[in-house]
């Protein structure tokens, strides 16, 4: 269910009332026509004679109820707009609060530090930030590392570690250490500025899909306008001067007020919902595109499996003592602060290995890189390197049958083998295992049920990749892949005219992100990656790409379902209002399938249904219709059943019930 | 209902079964008609698929010299790769020239030698007639053949009966090319036109003409035959003429305008059951074959099958409504206790009830509008069966327009269905942007607006309503039919009022022009817009146009759009008449 914050009520009511201004209804032809009808109905009720309407007491009550219902229709439409708009306004307000002016310690070219207001910072400026200070603008870490509290943007209460090359967001708080940052955006173009702009634009501008739907609704509204007008002259011709008020009610009941009233709310709600996921989409269009994805490219690490792998077992080559091997592993992993390194160190300690900090000071650590595919330490008289088997074999030009055998065995179990070389000789293998993220299997399954192809990219070898993809249900994998390979995969899929979605964080991912139809960058990623992507995830959870796809589909399905429902409803209204209008033709009573004996009460019941259904469907519009991930064919079948056939039958029942309630309530016109 | 007659007794069980259960035999006749039409259309569908794909056909060898000759005459314009603007200008210009020439030729028909002079025609009638023949409507506000000379008939009207369908078929070729191509152009109108003429319409009509002559339909330049009817002292002039060749293109080209005023109800146009089913199959042939060919054209058999099922579903439904409506007849008659064999008023006994109603529904399912029975004498229920397809803008369509009209619904349904499965609107793996939706909506609203606006206006004009003599609900039906038939470029009429008056002549002409050319142009705009877009590879995750679920959605959309647009008028026209009939029945019993 959607909830409305009590504090928002005044502003929602204000927007609701402002929306009555016909100028703001111009964007919505359906509601504009309703407003015209509303004004007309007032005139009709005041001067019934001029419209040759009967003016008995019961008719006057009927006119009054029409006025009230038309007012409510408009009110509900405006209200649904205001509620969604109110939600985005809350987001904008909180964002604006964040964008407060701070001071910045700017480093000039000669290296001196000067205090300037944060708004004066330009792209390329260098600033210093100390512990407890706010980061003045979006930027990239040049020097230092530290924990940054981003809770005001992400809602995540734990501070995240920022290292050299990482991106930082303005207005977040550095809690420890000291960073030197290069500013990456001009004032007004920062992340928060863009987000404010986005949320504002989402309430202001229509996506192409909304435009198309509005055109279509306008076309059908035109038909119904002409239908009603021709009915007027037709009934005059048949000598049955129609009651203009009833004719107008027919028109309002026929035009697609349901979808017309809720259309803008659906769009705004989608932007609100995606912000709730802590994802910043650069446009509403990007969200809709996400629903349209044919292929998803996922990284293995971080998306399918838990970040880094964990060490499980050591295998030393014959002739090397197990304990000695554990010690070497510990040495080369201690400076390695990745989770993988930490887990190796932990495992080594459980083997009884230990090393003092002093001993370690003599070594130089070389971190893992995608190019060398290895990491290690170099000391005065020993070099210990661990890395991928192939990379090590090529680099050192050696092979070891035992190591190869162990590696193969580990891989066949789906684990990752990490051979270790000491002074140019294999000394053993560390077995690492990948841990699938909890629930990832089910999520990938649901994506596959929507017939979306999943491709996994991993730097691992073929066998490991296959194991993981089998385990998680991935369709296709690219093993031994480099960031450039990812770009190739995107290109290949695009050439097959597929819509591609992918996640990326490194600078290397930027070309692929830019090429993909939906590129989700991690907030921790480089500015280049964030620039190239059309969505940024503030929580750095790549799995969310799957949520985005789901959300995109949901927005479109909600629109389609409510449009279908709106039209299917019309059939019943004909069967209620036409016999009521021509009750003087007793022979037409066979059309009165609901057996509503009082004509004006029947018309009122139809109008009440038409009005109430808007507010009844508002939660659905804002929350989105629920759907089970399944093939397009299944979805179409189910939604046609529910909203098409259901939408044709349901109002018959509802109108009959409303009519009975009116009778029971003692309305006797 | 059994008919107690010794004629209906037979020794054979089966013969008895069919003779005594006329509901069953009628139903079977309906099925036979649809089956024969489907088989013939299926045979032709391969040929049409080849034309749509631009491949050589069996007639190419014979057609090539003609096509080459005309292309050489036309010069570079016949070689140009045309985009939307050029294509539209070409076919509009070509039709305009044909129309103007036809108007002049008929206006001065009495000055052409070797012709029998007639009284001058009123100008509005000439305009109306030329427009209606040009737009494949063949609304005949005159009683043929007492108005036009043999010259006008043979050269002008038959000429237009070829030009109309050929133009539409050429446009449908461009439309399909637009969907299938990525090259951004729609082809060449003149080439398409010549192909339509020489590889489709002319060869088929030549074959049919010969068959019709063999079946006993006249083909002559002889002057009127003076006949002396039995039991009557007077003499009657029986006009003859090039009836077979007229009849052939009338049906094949889904034109439908009869050589004789009574159309296919006249024995010289349609002498027996064989010519009846032959003519029926002839006018459903090209539209149905075009729809069947789409499966091959878009390499998706299921798509072709789905369209066939949807259209045939509507066809069968309407045919059964018409048959049973006429079979049950007027309840008040049965109420009187008379032996009643259904409403045979205005029907040819040689053809019978089921054949007549199926022929009638076929004529409004397609844009033919031929009739072998007096539509004005139909019962209200029977009339519903005839009028429903008309109000859906001829679901089976005419030559060429079958594809164009059906696609207005397909695009629109694809839009809604895509949304409902959570995808941005697409059709045939091509994205539908707001431009396509705009023009698709325009195509969709054109037909109802073209019927309802004139209808609403006409009811308020008392001066045109003077020539009506039937009860009020029937007048509603008559006017609805008149504008429906014009807007759908159908051409069948129930008349019952003076149609040959300036008001209706001009108004109908305008409706026909808009109904014909606007939809063609809108569809070509869509085609042009799609021509530039690259198709996406077939994804399992998109709506499959060939799936039953899409077929059902398409069917529902067609029905709902039709119902929502016309329910009030139907309620006050045929339904009101119907209700009155049934009421009468109840009262009598």
In a domain, residue B89? The reply is: yes
Closest residue in A to B419 (Cα–Cα) = A560
How many Cβ pairs within 8 Å bridge chains A and B? 214
Q: How far is B529 from chain A (nearest CA, A)?
A: 15
Closest residue in A to B533 (Cα–Cα) = A497
CA atoms of B363 and A336, how far apart (whole Å): 83
Number of domains observed in the structure of chain B: 1
- What DSSP string runs through B41-78? HHHHHHHHHHHHHT---TTHHHHHHHHHHHHHHHGGGG
In a domain, residue B403? The reply is: yes
Q: Which of B442, B452, B560 sits opposite A567 (nearest CB)?
A: B560
In a domain, residue B415? The reply is: yes
A364 against B538, higher pLDDT: A364
CA atoms of A645 and A616, how far apart (whole Å): 19
Query: In terms of DSSP bridges, do strands A167-168 and A139-143 run parallel, antiparallel, or are they unpaired?
Result: antiparallel
- What pLDDT score does B75 carry? 87
- The residues with which A428 forms a beta bridge, in sequence order, are A316, A420
The confidence band for B300, taking pLDDT boundaries of 50, 70 and 90, is confident
Worst-scoring range by mean pLDDT, A432-441, B430-439, B512-521? A432-441
State the best of B419, B447, B535, B556 to mutate against chain A, taking most chain A CBs within 10 Å.
Answer: B419
In a domain, residue B60? The reply is: yes
Q: How far is B484 from chain A (nearest CA, A)?
A: 14
Q: Is A292 annotated as catalytic?
A: no
- With beta carbons under 8 A apart, name residues in chain A contacting B415: 212, 216
Q: Residue A666 phi/psi, 5° resolution?
A: 85, 15
- With beta carbons under 8 A apart, name residues in chain A contacting B572: 231, 234-235, 238, 582
Provide the ipTM: 0.90
* Tens digit of each residue's pLDDT (9 = 90 or more) over B464-486: 888 887 777 888 888 999 999 99
**Cross-chain residue pair B572–A238, CB shorter than 8 Å:** yes
Q: Is A100 exposed, middle or buried (0-12, 13-18, 19+ CB in 10 A)?
A: exposed
Is the Cβ of A451 closer than 8 Å to some Cβ of chain B?
A: yes
Is the Cβ of A286 closer than 8 Å to some Cβ of chain B?
A: no
- What pLDDT score does A90 carry? 74
State the best of A222, A231, A237, A627 to mutate against chain B, taking most chain B CBs within 10 Å.
Answer: A237
- With beta carbons under 8 A apart, name residues in chain B contacting A223: 445, 448-449, 452, 564-565
Check pLDDT > 50 for residue A438. yes
* Tens digit of each residue's pLDDT (9 = 90 or more) over B181-229: 888 889 999 999 999 999 999 999 999 999 999 998 888 877 777 888 7
- With beta carbons under 8 A apart, name residues in chain A contacting B465: 237
Q: How far is B557 from chain A (nearest CA, A)?
A: 10
Q: Could you tell me what percent of chain A has a pLDDT over 70?
A: 95
B536 against B452, higher pLDDT: B452
Q: Is A470 exposed, middle or buried (0-12, 13-18, 19+ CB in 10 A)?
A: exposed
Handedness of CA A61, A62, A65, A66 (dihedral sign): negative
Q: Taking the CA of residue B16 as centre, how many other CA atoms within 13 Å lie in the half-sphere pointing to its CB? A: 7
In a domain, residue B587? The reply is: no
Closest residue in A to B479 (Cα–Cα) = A234
- What pLDDT score does A202 carry? 63
Q: How many CB atoms are located within 10 Å of the residue A628 CB?
A: 10
In a domain, residue B588? The reply is: no
Q: How far is B437 from chain A (nearest CA, A)?
A: 6
Q: Is A380 exposed, middle or buried (0-12, 13-18, 19+ CB in 10 A)?
A: exposed
Tell me the average pLDDT across B353-367.
93
Query: In terms of DSSP bridges, do strands A374-378 and A364-366 run parallel, antiparallel, or are they unpaired?
Result: antiparallel
Is the Cβ of A379 closer than 8 Å to some Cβ of chain B?
A: no
Is the Cβ of A584 closer than 8 Å to some Cβ of chain B?
A: no
Q: How many CB atoms are located within 10 Å of the residue B512 CB?
A: 28
Is the Cβ of A495 closer than 8 Å to some Cβ of chain B?
A: no
Closest residue in A to B585 (Cα–Cα) = A587
* Tens digit of each residue's pLDDT (9 = 90 or more) over B34-85: 999 999 999 999 999 999 999 999 999 999 999 999 999 988 888 889 999 9
Reduced to 3 states, what is the DSSP secondary structure of residue A536? strand
- What pLDDT score does A560 carry? 93
Tell me the average pLDDT across A28-56.
89
State the best of B303, B380, B420, B479 to mutate against chain A, taking most chain A CBs within 10 Å.
Answer: B420
Q: Cα A42 to chain center, whole Å?
A: 44
* Tens digit of each residue's pLDDT (9 = 90 or more) over A95-137: 777 666 777 888 887 878 888 888 788 888 888 888 888 888 8
CA atoms of B437 and B425, how far apart (whole Å): 9
Task: Give, as one character, the DSSP assignment of residue A636.
Answer: H
Cα first-last separation, chain A: 38
- With beta carbons under 8 A apart, name residues in chain A contacting B422: 291, 450, 552-554, 556-557, 560, 627, 635
Q: Which domain range does residue B343 map to?
A: 22-581
In a domain, residue B212? The reply is: yes
* Tens digit of each residue's pLDDT (9 = 90 or more) over A105-115: 888 878 788 88
Closest residue in A to B567 (Cα–Cα) = A574
CA atoms of B66 and B64, how far apart (whole Å): 5
- What pLDDT score does A1 carry? 38
* Tens digit of each residue's pLDDT (9 = 90 or more) over B91-120: 999 999 999 999 998 888 878 766 666 667
Is the Cβ of B421 closer than 8 Å to some Cβ of chain A?
A: yes
Is the Cβ of B556 closer than 8 Å to some Cβ of chain A?
A: yes
Q: How far is B421 from chain A (nearest CA, A)?
A: 5
Q: How far is A263 from chain B (nearest CA, A)?
A: 13
**Cross-chain residue pair A236–B425, CB shorter than 8 Å:** no
**Cross-chain residue pair B568–A208, CB shorter than 8 Å:** no
Q: Which of B422, B449, B544 sits opposite A223 (nearest CB)?
A: B449
Integer-rounded Cα radius of gyration of chain A = 33
- With beta carbons under 8 A apart, name residues in chain B contacting A233: 455-457, 459-460
The confidence band for B23, taking pLDDT boundaries of 50, 70 and 90, is confident
Q: Which of A215, A556, A564 sits opposite B437 (nearest CB)?
A: A215
Q: Which of A222, A234, A553 sits opposite B572 (nearest CB)?
A: A234
* Tens digit of each residue's pLDDT (9 = 90 or more) over B162-180: 999 999 999 999 999 998 8
Q: Cα B519 to chain center, whole Å?
A: 15
Q: How far is A112 from chain B (nearest CA, A)?
A: 55
- What pLDDT score does A515 carry? 85
- With beta carbons under 8 A apart, name residues in chain B contacting A570: 560, 564
In a domain, residue B5? The reply is: no
The residue annotated as part of the active site, out of A138, A193, A299, A537, is A299
Instruction: Supply the angle between the helices B401-420 and A544-581 in degrees, to the nearest 10.
Output: 120
- What pLDDT score does B1 carry? 43
- With beta carbons under 8 A apart, name residues in chain B contacting A574: 563-564, 567-568
Q: How many CB atoms are located within 10 Å of the residue B122 CB?
A: 15
């Amino acid at each position: 269910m959607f909830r409305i914050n009590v504090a928002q009520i005044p502003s929602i009511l204000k927007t609701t009332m402002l929306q009555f201004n016909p100028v703001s209804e111009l964007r919505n032809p359906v509601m504009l026509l309703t407003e015209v009808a509303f004004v007309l109905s007032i005139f009709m009720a005041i001067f019934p004679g001029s419209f040759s309407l009967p003016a008995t007491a019961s008719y006057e009550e009927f006119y009054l109820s029409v006025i009230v219902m038309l007012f409510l229709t408009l009110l509900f439409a405006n209200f649904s707009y205001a509620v969604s708009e109110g939600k985005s306004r809350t987001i904008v307000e909180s964002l604006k609060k964040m964008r407060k002016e701070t001071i910045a310690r700017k480093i000039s070219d000669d290296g001196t530090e000067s205090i300037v207001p944060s708004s004066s910072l330009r792209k390329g400026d260098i600033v210093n930030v100390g512990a407890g200070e706010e980061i003045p603008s979006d930027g990239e870490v040049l020097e230092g590392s530290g924990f940054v509290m981003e809770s005001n943007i992400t809602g995540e209460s734990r501070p995240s570690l920022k290292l050299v090359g990482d991106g930082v967001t303005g207005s977040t708080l550095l809690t420890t250490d000291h960073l030197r940052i290069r500013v990456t955006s001009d004032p007004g173009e920062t992340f928060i500025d863009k987000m404010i702009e986005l949320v504002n634009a989402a309430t202001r501008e229509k996506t192409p899909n909304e435009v198309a739907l509005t055109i279509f609704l306008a076309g059908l509204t035109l038909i119904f306008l002409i239908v009603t007008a021709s009915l007027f002259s037709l009934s005059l011709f048949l000598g049955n001067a129609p009651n203009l008020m009833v004719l107008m009610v027919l028109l309002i009941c026929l035009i697609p007020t349901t979808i017309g009233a809720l259309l803008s709310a659906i769009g705004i709600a989608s932007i609100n919902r995606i912000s709730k996921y802590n994802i910043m989409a650069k446009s509403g269009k990007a969200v809709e595109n996400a629903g349209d994805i044919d292929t998803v490219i996922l990284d293995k690490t971080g998306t399918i499996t838990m970040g880094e792998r964990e060490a499980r077992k050591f295998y030393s080559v014959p002739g090397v003592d197990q304990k000695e091997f554990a010690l070497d592993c510990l040495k080369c992993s201690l400076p390695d602060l990745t989770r993988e390194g930490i887990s190796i160190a932990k495992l080594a300690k459980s083997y009884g290995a230990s090393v003092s900090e002093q001993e370690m000071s003599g070594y130089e650590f070389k971190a893992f890189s995608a190019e060398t595919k290895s990491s290690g330490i170099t000391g005065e008289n020993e070099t210990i390197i661990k890395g991928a088997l192939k990379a090590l074999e090529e680099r050192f030009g050696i092979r070891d049958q035992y190591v190869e055998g162990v590696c193969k065995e580990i891989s066949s179990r789906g684990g990752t083998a990490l051979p270790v070389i000491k002074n140019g000789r294999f000394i053993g293998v560390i077995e690492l295992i990948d841990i699938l993220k909890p629930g990832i299997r089910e999520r990938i399954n649901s994506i596959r049920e929507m017939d979306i192809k999943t491709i996994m990219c991993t730097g691992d070898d073929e066998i490991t990749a296959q194991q993981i993809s089998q385990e998680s249900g991935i369709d296709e994998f690219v093993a031994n892949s480099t960031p450039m390979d990812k770009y190739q995969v995107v290109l290949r899929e695009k050439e097959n005219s597929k819509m591609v979605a992918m996640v990326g964080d490194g600078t290397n991912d930027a070309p692929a992100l830019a090429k993909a139809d939906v590129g989700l960058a991690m907030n921790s990623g480089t500015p280049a990656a964030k620039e190239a992507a059309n969505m940024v995830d503030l929580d750095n959870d790549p799995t969310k790409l799957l949520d985005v796809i789901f959300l995109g589909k949901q927005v479109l399905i909600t629109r389609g379902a409510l449009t279908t429902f709106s039209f299917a409803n019309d059939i019943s209204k004909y069967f209620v209002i036409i016999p009521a209008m021509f009750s003087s033709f007793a022979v037409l009573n066979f059309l009165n399938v609901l057996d509503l004996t009082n004509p004006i009460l029947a018309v009122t019941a139809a109008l009440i249904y038409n009005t109430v259904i808007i507010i009844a469907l508002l939660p659905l519009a804002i929350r989105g219709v629920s759907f089970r991930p399944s093939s397009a064919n299944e979805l179409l079948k189910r939604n046609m059943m529910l909203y098409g056939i259901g939408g044709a039958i349901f109002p018959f029942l509802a109108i009959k019930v409303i009519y009975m309630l009116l009778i029971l309530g003692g309305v006797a016109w | 209902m059994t008919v107690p007659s010794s004629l209906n007794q037979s020794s054979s069980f089966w013969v008895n079964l069919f003779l005594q259960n006329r509901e069953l035999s009628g139903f079977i006749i309906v099925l036979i008609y649809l089956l024969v039409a489907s088989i013939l259309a299926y045979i032709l569908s391969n040929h049409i698929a080849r034309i749509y794909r631009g491949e050589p056909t069996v007639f190419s060898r014979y057609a090539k010299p003609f096509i080459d000759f005309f292309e050489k005459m036309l010069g570079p314009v016949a070689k140009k790769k045309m985009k939307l603007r050029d294509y539209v200008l070409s076919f509009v210009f070509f039709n305009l020239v044909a129309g103007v020439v036809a108007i002049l030729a008929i206006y001065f028909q009495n000055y052409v030698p070797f012709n029998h002079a007639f009284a001058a025609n009123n100008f509005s009638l000439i305009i109306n007639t030329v427009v209606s023949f040009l737009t494949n409507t063949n609304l005949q506000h005159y009683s043929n053949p007492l108005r036009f000379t043999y010259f006008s008939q043979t050269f002008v009207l038959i000429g237009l009966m070829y030009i109309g369908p050929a133009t539409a078929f050429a446009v449908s070729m461009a439309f399909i090319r637009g969907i299938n191509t990525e090259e951004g152009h729609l082809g060449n109108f003149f080439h398409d036109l010549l192909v339509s003429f020489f590889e489709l319409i002319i060869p088929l009509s030549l074959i049919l003409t010969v068959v019709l002559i063999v079946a006993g339909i006249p083909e002559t330049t002889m002057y009127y035959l003076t006949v002396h009817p039995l039991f009557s002292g007077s003499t009657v002039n029986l006009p003859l003429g090039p009836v077979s060749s007229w009849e052939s293109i009338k049906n094949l080209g889904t034109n439908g305008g009869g050589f004789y005023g009574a159309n296919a109800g006249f024995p010289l146009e349609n002498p027996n059951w064989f010519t009846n089913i032959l003519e029926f199959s002839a006018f459903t042939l090209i539209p149905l074959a075009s729809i069947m060919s789409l499966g091959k054209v878009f390499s998706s058999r299921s798509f072709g099958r789905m369209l066939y099922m949807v259209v045939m579903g509507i066809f069968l439904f309407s045919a059964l409504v018409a048959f049973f409506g006429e079979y049950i007849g007027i309840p008040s008659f049965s109420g009187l206790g008379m032996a009643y064999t259904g409403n045979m008023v205005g029907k040819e006994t040689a053809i019978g009830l089921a054949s007549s109603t199926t022929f009638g529904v076929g004529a409004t399912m397609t844009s033919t509008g031929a009739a072998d029975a007096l539509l004005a004498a139909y019962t209200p229920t029977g009339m519903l069966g005839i009028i429903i397809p008309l109000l859906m803008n001829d679901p089976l369509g005419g030559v060429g327009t079958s594809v164009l009209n059906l696609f207005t619904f397909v695009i629109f349904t694809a839009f809604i269905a895509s949304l409902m499965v959570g995808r941005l609107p697409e059709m045939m793996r091509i994205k539908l942007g707001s431009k396509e939706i705009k023009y698709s909506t325009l195509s969709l609203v054109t037909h109802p607006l073209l019927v309802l606006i004139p209808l609403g206006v006409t009811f308020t004009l008392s001066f045109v309503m003077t020539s009506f003599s039937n009860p009020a609900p029937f007048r509603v039906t008559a006017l609805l039919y008149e504008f429906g038939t014009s807007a759908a470029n159908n051409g069948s009429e129930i008349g019952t009022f003076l149609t040959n008056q300036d008001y209706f002549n001009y108004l109908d002409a305008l409706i026909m022009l808009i109904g014909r050319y606007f939809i063609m142009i809108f569809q070509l705009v869509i085609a042009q817009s799609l021509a530039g877009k690259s198709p996406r590879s077939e994804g399992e995750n998109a709506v499959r146009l060939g799936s039953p679920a899409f077929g059902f959605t398409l069917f529902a959309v067609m029905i709902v759009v039709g119902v929502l647009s016309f329910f009030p008028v139907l309620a006050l026209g045929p339904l009101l008449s119907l209700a009155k009939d049934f009421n009468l029945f109840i009262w009598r019993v």
